[in-house]
Amino acid sequence: MKITDILQSKPATLSFEVFPPKTDMKYEEVMGAVAKIATLKPDFMSVTYGAMGNGARKYTLAVAKEVMSLGVTPLAHLTCIDSDKEDVETKIEAFREMGIENVLALRGDIPPDHEGFRDYRYASELVEELSRDGHFCVGGACYPEGHPDSPTLFSDIDNLKKKVDAGCSFLTTQMFFDNDIFYSFLSKCRDSHIYVPIIAGIMPVTNGSQVKRSVALSGGILPSKFRRIIDRFGSDPVAMRQAGIAYATDQIIDLYANGIKAVHVYSMNKPDVAEAIRSNLSGII
């Protein structure tokens, strides 16, 4: 089923993200986690595409196929920064043959040793290609605090509008820890005539070092309420797990209460975390 149809057919949705194994040795472990998360019956599961040089890439399709066989709609990620047209056409053909209907079209991060663009510079070029014949429901990434490469949030939103005009039917946000940042972003997007559904991306932070990595990657802001949690519980794994799940749950409930219909949880291949969030929301969604 296409993600836009899922979003339209339900008053509220909850989806989870998984990432493929980086090595063959981790394959069974990851597939086990994927199967457990699928039993929670999320509205869809996204499957990431490894960054350049990351061995996880070759498994995106296998994990997406597994998700499908478990009765859950997969959203396969695809990046283009280090690909040429031929690579991308091969990937798109493989998605089509496997029955994948939903693709998150991404540029990918520019590596530090980048020596110039190949056939793609921006995700919008991949979006255009994927959406050409209407077979795929194509999504894109967006950044409530602005993409780190963009000089301002407004210029990033102008570029986001170009990506949507190229054929994005929905957007998923980078993680954020302060819902007010998301509400403000949403309103700026609507003011800029971006009307596609925007799925709120929530990361349950369950250990102190993970948050430092995640925030460094996203360039996001940690609100003081959350910072105090990390300071107090970051070095105690049991306490941090409980506090991180509670904080993410609180964010999600606030989003639904404010009329946000779609929440995507960066569940990081942790079925116990996905299950705890699902259970905390059992009477709500």
From residue 135, alpha-carbon distances to 1, 9, 43, 95, 249 in Å are 11, 19, 20, 11, 35
Kindly tell me the sign of the dihedral angle through the C-alpha atoms of 96, 100, 102, 105. negative
Check residue 106 for interaction with ligand FAD (CB under 6 A): yes
- Marked catalytic residue, from 17, 66, 101, 129: 17
- Is 15 in contact with 199 (CB distance < 8 Å)? yes
For the chain, percent helix, then strand, then coil, each to nearest 5?
50, 15, 40
Check residue 123 for interaction with ligand FAD (CB under 6 A): yes
Q: Angle 284-261-218 (CA atoms, 0-180°, nearest 5)?
A: 105
Q: In 3D, which of 232, 202, 198, 241 has the Cα closest to residue 218? A: 202
Residue closer to ligand FAD (CB basis): 42 or 108: 108
Kindly tell me the sign of the dihedral angle through the C-alpha atoms of 158, 148, 74, 57. positive
CB of residue 282 to ligand FAD, shortest distance in Å: 26
- Is 280 in contact with 245 (CB distance < 8 Å)? yes
Residue closer to ligand FAD (CB basis): 146 or 244: 146
Among 14, 16, 68, 77, contact with ligand FAD (rule: CB under 6 A): 77
Can 17 be counted among the known catalytic residues? Answer: yes
- For residues 13 and 285, what is the distance between their CA atoms, to the nearest angstrom? 8
CB of residue 160 to ligand FAD, shortest distance in Å: 7
CB of residue 283 to ligand FAD, shortest distance in Å: 28
Among 4, 159, 184, 210, contact with ligand FAD (rule: CB under 6 A): 159
CB of residue 69 to ligand FAD, shortest distance in Å: 21
Check residue 20 for interaction with ligand FAD (CB under 6 A): no
In angstroms, how far is CA 269 from the centroid of its own chain?
13
**x-or-dash string of contact with ligand FAD, 21-60, rule CB under 6 A:** ---------------------------xx-x---------
Among 30, 45, 107, 263, contact with ligand FAD (rule: CB under 6 A): 107
The size of the interface with ligand FAD (CB under 6 A), counted in residues, is 24
Check residue 87 for interaction with ligand FAD (CB under 6 A): no
Name the 3-class secondary structure at 191: helix
Among 109, 119, 254, 275, contact with ligand FAD (rule: CB under 6 A): 109
In angstroms, how far is CA 88 from the centroid of its own chain?
20
Check residue 149 for interaction with ligand FAD (CB under 6 A): yes
- For residues 169 and 163, what is the distance between their CA atoms, to the nearest angstrom? 10
Per CB under 6 A, residues contacting ligand FAD are 48-49, 51, 77, 79, 104, 106-109, 122-124, 141, 147, 149-150, 156, 159, 162-163, 172, 174, 201
Active site residues: 17
